[in-house]
Amino acid sequence: MSIEKLEKEAWAAYFDSMSKVLAGKQAEIDVESLELGAQVASRFAPLHGITYDHKSDMLEIMLERWEHNISHVHEIWIDRDGISLNSIMVLDSDGVEQIIKLRDPLTLPDPQLAAGARRQDPGSGAPR
């Protein structure tokens, strides 16, 4: 696990290059500040992308049913294992921390394959 601060000049390029790695991930967004306390802005939902627009100084997190924007970004910290990104901490100019937690979606077994496995006798491997 490695936690590192991204330099502002690299934000746009970093999130553009990470879009392929983040495809299929789910994201949860937590917002924390002295005024607000700790709040969950979004429970885990499919992530469509994250971009930084330097003209508007805004980080945009696109989820399945909504978009979460963070304006006046001051710092971005990432927590990663190799190329796998675990979370992103964004600090805005008001001191509000927004933490984007990432995870892979749960994968369920194919119902047809699971049904076929149940029809076989586990001792002999032959169908019942």
The per-residue pLDDT of the chain, averaged, comes to: 85
Residues with Cβ within 8 Å of residue 51, at least 6 apart in sequence: 12, 15, 16, 19, 59, 60, 62
* pLDDT at site 121: 52
Percent of the chain with pLDDT over 90: 56
Measure the CA–CA gap between 28 and 22, rounded to whole angstroms: 13
Measure the CA–CA gap between 99 and 77, rounded to whole angstroms: 9
Please name each of the domains of the chain with its CATH number.
2-119 (2.70.180)
Q: What is the pTM of this model?
A: 0.76
* pLDDT at site 120: 60
What number is the average pLDDT over the span 8-35? 89
What 3-state class would DSSP assign to 116?
helix
Confidence of residue 15 (pLDDT cuts 50, 70, 90): very high
**What pLDDT digit, counting tens, does each position of 44-99 carry?**
899 999 999 999 999 999 999 889 999 999 999 999 888 788 999 999 999 999 99
Going by their DSSP bridges, the two strands 73-81 and 84-92 should be labelled as antiparallel
* pLDDT at site 119: 58
Confidence of residue 29 (pLDDT cuts 50, 70, 90): very high
